[in-house]
Amino acid sequence: MTLAGGCLCGKVRYQTNAEPLWLCHCHCSMCRKHTGSPIATYVGFPAGTVIWLTTQPTRYRSSKDVERSFCPTCGSTIGFHRVHETSLLLGSLDAPESLPIAAIRGMHVWFKDHIPWFDTADDWTRFAEFPPGGTDELYNYRRPVVR
């Protein structure tokens, strides 16, 4: 399947033919700041499988191994980038309802930081932080030159 998406103003557009690796709700305070929402919901793909069709989103390095991206014009949050994965904000997809949700591993991460009165009605695993093995360190990450 092809999934497509982009920002509110249309300056940033992407598509991917890759199978989603997972879907997660992140409850951490950095994701709250980046999105302005109680949680950030991401769909993960292998790095390099998301094709930017127009302008690439602007990136902000929020941790030594993470860059967060957004449209430089309208500010829409687009992605969470690590060397092995490109995670797209679910809300940036044109048709999130078309995700093959039954075949995707869903989870909550950083649930220890969740807003006490905010939760969602699902039975996905609620990890206190990242799931075991989900914290690859990416010290040597170098962003490829974009031409």
* Residue numbers at the binding site for Zn ion (CB under 5 A): 7, 9, 11, 26, 28, 31, 71, 73-74
Q: Which amino acid, residue 132?
A: P
Q: Are 138 and 122 in contact (CB under 8 A)?
A: no
Please, which residue, 49 or 62, has the CB nearer to Zn ion?
A: 62
CA distance 133 to 110: 14
Handedness of CA 83, 97, 116, 21 (dihedral sign): negative
Least CB distance from residue 25 to Zn ion, whole Å? 9
From the CB of 96, what's the least distance to Zn ion, in Å?
18
Closer of 45 and 80 to Zn ion (Cβ): 80
Minimum Å gap between C-beta 42 and Zn ion is 8
